[in-house]
Structure 1
């Protein structure tokens, strides 16, 4: 047997495979039954075996089995289409022609979609190789089928079909007739989009073939169809619909009609989801369910429409009229994740990633990070984090997304925790070496001060002075020239209180502890006497005393106060550390710090940009500054203008105004 005979014998062996494949083709084309998952996998396997048969056989070219399958598929489709064409060509009535065309087109189109899915291996391997070798007549299976329909069915009746569409629309058709005409127009757009000749864009082809009235009808119906699909819960046809709708209507991407429809729909969905959210997880899910929904997946090929989803998320999370602060909600949820044991580390990391993804939509990302730093520090002081590695993971995620400049304070806080543990261990060894015992449990948490916390000026009671004095001595030996002080606002402890009929463990901050210890030496005290002995003001003490009087722990004796020795409670452990004692609102202080930090960041950004570009128009500078700072916050135009004026008025300015709206860098 010579080489040619062996090759023929090998191809005869493909006949059995083709017969099995034909059964699947008959199912989708004749019986019009789509593949289920099992059938799709089986058909894909047959296609794979068909394409890879004899790949390692020197008697057969590696591309020949794929060619055999492709030609058989083409012939199978041609045979079916020729039968359809023979039936349609004899129809003379306009409405009947439209009806019959749609009757055959719809099942054929759906069958081709199924076939294309099953021929994925053929498309991605054999077809791709043929196209690489410049065989321009070879196309993906779906496009090949569309070309065959155009040649066999559409071309013989194209004039009659165009005339039928025009005449029906002029007769003010009913909804059913309009629907049929629209289906025909959609098929024609799809045929134009898959045509072998792509020199002329699809919109031009439509305008060349149809009247302005027909093209206008197609566009209005397409908008209505998009709205119908968007409002439904079934988006399986949306990807295909948009693919060809955007080819025929490029103004969809550039205009506002599709975007307006989409925006109204998803904004309402998001608003409803947020209104039902009870906590941080629900709030996060409301956004993530929209961002990773079937609708979003269907829109992925159209970046302009996907951007609408992001815009809705941005508008919603930054809206001014919200009942709850999104930054506070997300930080509370982060705190919940960090302080409660999670089902798995992987699940926790995925949840943290989702939080960072949502933070990206905030205009004030730096404010979120500032509040996160505050809550992180509280967790470290209270030792409530389940694992330090989780904290490190969150900071890494934030750094990766927003940069080191935005998160350096968080990274420093983790480093300070490590240093504080070293100091704590050293202090314990120091006390042991000197055989010092305080008579109470003194748990040191030493965090280097950044000047960001208010601190009450307080004379520590004698019971605590020894511990403070010893630590001052120890720390100054290690850090010569550095100053350290106890933060009476952040520090806290527990005291055992023995009353007439009960004993309680009181959880108190340092100020409260100092107040209570005064009553070890005095039976009753006035508020002025307390203030003098503690070296603080009555305004600081008043809220604490009012709270204790309200719960009955302290009682009045004329102008003085004394401990209620008959005080009782069902709880043995009482948390009294609930009263804010700062004279200035922490929110005001944080806002002041944040505003100052933004001023410095703005000034630095303006100078960096001007140094790079030398000369810029005002509008150019503003756009570049916003882009530069978007990972920290979205600055307002007025704020940018204000900082530019400040830089211009400096004694030795870095920039100068050359014209009314042009700036130059001063080198």
Structure 2
């Protein structure tokens, strides 16, 4: 059907003009698809222009069309046009509203979207045709502060909202929510329809105070609010039923899937503004509402090492406020319990003394397992890392092996480090050694008594350097660098000085050989012992002379006296103390029968002194051996015992103990699979005594450390309450060890006696300059 436009009316005839315009607007509104020819388009545009600029007003109300009184001016004529257009839109939308009542559900949505698209498209055309009205009359009215005046396009939207939308919106939303529920139940829906509805609701959000701006008020009230309410109800019902019929793990999978679906739904057809409240709603129902149930399952998942499910629980509970707090304390308790159990298991399985490696491996096994869990399942979250650290600190320092003290862990750790860094029959790859040192530092981080580790480590390092049996110099320096990074320069200062002494000693030995070659002729040089001396600074090396006299063999005396002469010429005023218990050497066993190559015996200096006595005698009584070496019997007997055990010497009578009355002779039939025979074996009694001495040194050092810390604090503060001083002292030295309060109080009393401090009124202490 074709609508024919009448000819443009007289510009001064208001009734005729509106009648003409109404036909044009109706054609645009109803038959936009058929298009508007240029003649019609220009005719409407011209009629609007003429109408708004007419200076003669004719007419009154006619046929429901609002007219004006005579001679009111151009701006009043614009008002007539605006009111007539508004009335037309009211009638048009009322008709659409009536038609909508015959539609339901998806048919209603299709009808609404179709009409909305047609209406808003027509509004854009009409707005363009009424451009002159917008530019002059509407603008002037708005500038003058008039209310309820909008440009023509906005007027269309306002009328849609006031006439149609407010009566149809509930039915439209009910249809939308039904479609969404179908999709949640797994059915396929026409998502574009909901997207169009959302866009429509957003477009209707007009700022009442400024028509040029828009708001989301309409969308939020009419779409977002009912959508969120329906979502909450849906998931409350579904989650309650699902939990009743399925396991917690299955529920977590379901909840995670649902949350992801809702997030995707926003991207597919909802407005981005709904994301935050929608996720909040879903989390409250799906996670917060069932969080006690999830937390109750946490221990079960931990016990069964269900990392994937633990990760899922973490992701869910991490999205709600304080969701993870109860889990962290449970995790800490669980790790501590596992650590204690693992140590107890290896301690019970040890036949005699627990091997340092076995102990450290037991600690690392638990840490490695749960560090991986924290990294993979808990995303390396700092609070879970703190819980892991707290748990590890507990079972590393207080366990079955440590019993009442925390000093055994650092001692065993230092011994294990020594076994790694010391040369052994099993060669370790550089990369493996580096990894092992990294693991050492992992345990070291949790050690409370770091001063104990330092003391034992420095003693074992000293022996490795003195005996030149480090597996790798790079590994040694690497380990010291790691300790320095962890504890600072002061912690490793002496260790680094020990390395410097070794290097200086190498240069010194080279100079000594040059000096000796000038002093002796070639024949004497061939006969001379080939020595290597190490000059160790007393203040840096944790070594003490042996608690026994010792008469060095004449062959050695001649050599070391020559070195002393050389050394004192270079360094007058110094004193050399010989640490015979750390010296060693090699002897050629030329006396043994039935061997093509003489055995080389690797012996300690004490063993050397014993064996060299047999150069002059076939058999020597125990008493003579003891007297000749001048060693204490407690030191002498174990070294002699090693020579008998490995059949270098024969006891007469056989199986006799090392005591007066027993005689000893060289075993001329000595045999060994190796040409070089190591007889310099650690004596257990010496090792035990060394451990005891080390602990005594630690206690003495701690007293000095506490006193120096107290003096340092008081020197800066001058006056301080007793309780504050104790706390400040703990704070300053806890990185080295955790001091006991009674020991700090005792140190304070000793400083008062030495007049470094004085008691003032009340509980206050003062510094005495």
Secondary structure (helix, strand or coil) at the match of 2:389 reads: helix
Contact 1:291 1:310 in 2 (8 A): no
Quote the Cα distance in structure 1 between the aligned partners of 2:394 and 2:417.
21
- Select which of 536, 556, 560 maps to 2:652: 556
Q: How big is each residue's C-alpha offset from its partner over 1:288-333, in whole Å with a ceiling of 9 and x where there is no partner?
A: 5236414334435642222111122212221341299564355434
- The equivalences for 1:18-167 within 5 A come to 89-90=177-178, 155-160=225-230, 162=232
Deviations 1:210-238 (A, max 9, x none): 9xxx9985341241354455456564675
Residue from 445, 449, 462 that aligns with 1:377: 462
User: Where has structure 1 moved over 6 Å in runs of 4 or more?
Assistant: 84-88, 149-154, 164-173, 177-192, 194-200
* Cα distance in 2, alignment partners of residues 87 and 622 from structure 1: 73
Q: What pairs up with 1:358-397 in 2 under 5 angstroms?
A: 358-397=443-482
Does residue 174 (structure 1) correspond to residue 278 (structure 2)? The answer is no
Is the Cα contact below 8 Å between 2:651 and 2:664 reproduced in 1? yes
**CA 1:478–1:165: 2 relative to 1, 3 Å:** same
2:611 equivalent to 1:507: no
Contact 2:413 2:453 in 1 (8 A): no
**How big is the shift at 1:414?**
0.6
1:446 aligns with 2:535: yes
Q: TM-score, normalised by structure 2?
A: 0.58
- Structure 1 pair 229/355, CA: closer, same or farther in 2 (3 Å)? same
Q: Aligned residue for 2:38? A: none
Comparing both chains, which one has the higher relative contact order based on Cα–Cα distances under 8 Å and sequence gaps of 6 or more? Answer: 1
Are 1:523 and 2:618 counterparts? yes
Give the conservation status (yes or no) of the 8 Å contact 1:314–1:361. Answer: yes
The 5-angstrom pairing of residues 38-437 of structure 1 reads: 89-90=177-178, 155-160=225-230, 162=232, 174-176=244-246, 218-227=290-299, 230-231=302-303, 233=305, 235=307, 241-242=313-314, 245-246=317-318, 248-250=320-322, 252-253=324-325, 258-264=328-334, 267-268=337-338, 272=342, 282=361, 286=365, 289-290=368-369, 292-300=371-379, 302-322=381-401, 325=409, 327-329=411-413, 331-333=415-417, 335-337=419-421, 339=423, 342-344=428-430, 348-435=433-520, 437=525
Q: CA deviation at 1:576?
A: 1.9
Tell whether the 8 Å contact from 2:253 to 2:312 is kept in structure 1 after alignment.
no
8 Å CA contact retained: 1:555, 1:563: no
Deviation at residue 597 of structure 1 after TM alignment: 1.1
Query: Does structure 2 retain, via aligned residues, the 8 Å contact 1:460–1:514?
Result: yes
Question: Residue 678 of structure 2 corresponds to which residue in structure 1?
Answer: 575
Tell me how far 1:468 sits from its aligned partner: 1.4
Point out the more displaced range, 400-409 or 324-333.
324-333
Asked if structure 2 preserves the Cα contact closer than 8 Å seen for 1:185 and 1:218, the reply is no
Change (3 A) 1:338 1:574: closer
Cα distance change of structure 1 residues 235 and 169 upon mapping to structure 2, 3 Å threshold: closer
SS in 2 for 1:561: strand
Give a deviation string over 1:462-509, Cα, whole Å, max 9, x none: 222210110111111112111113221110111122134455322211
The RMSD of aligned alpha carbons is 4.7
- Distance in 2 between residues matched to 1:361 and 1:409, nearest whole Å: 23
1:590 — aligned with what?
694
Structure-1 separation of matches of 2:321 and 2:518: 83
**Gap change, CA 1:273 and 1:235, over 3 Å in 2:** farther
Q: Which runs of 5+ in 2 are unaligned?
A: 1-171, 192-213, 267-271, 347-355, 403-407, 654-660
User: Matches of 2:767 and 2:303 in 1, distance apart?
Assistant: 53
Report the Cα offset of residue 663 of structure 1. 4.2
Contact 1:499–1:565 under 8 Å retained in 2: yes
**Does the 8 Å contact 1:457/1:535 carry over to 2?**
yes
| Whole-angstrom distance in 1 between the partners of 2:720 and 2:320 | 40
**Aligned 8 A contact 1:618 1:663 in 2:** yes
C-alpha distance in structure 2 between counterparts of 1:151 and 1:441, whole Å: 99
Structure 1 distance, partners of 2:231, 2:500, is 75
Cα pair 1:291 1:309 within 8 Å, conserved: yes
Query: In the comparison of the two structures, how many residue pairs are matched?
Result: 525
SS at match of 1:543: helix
- Asked whether the equivalents of residues 395 and 410 of structure 1 are also in contact (C-alpha less than 8 Å), the reply is yes
Equivalent pair of 2:551/2:629 in contact (CA under 8 Å) = yes
1:601 positional shift? 1.3
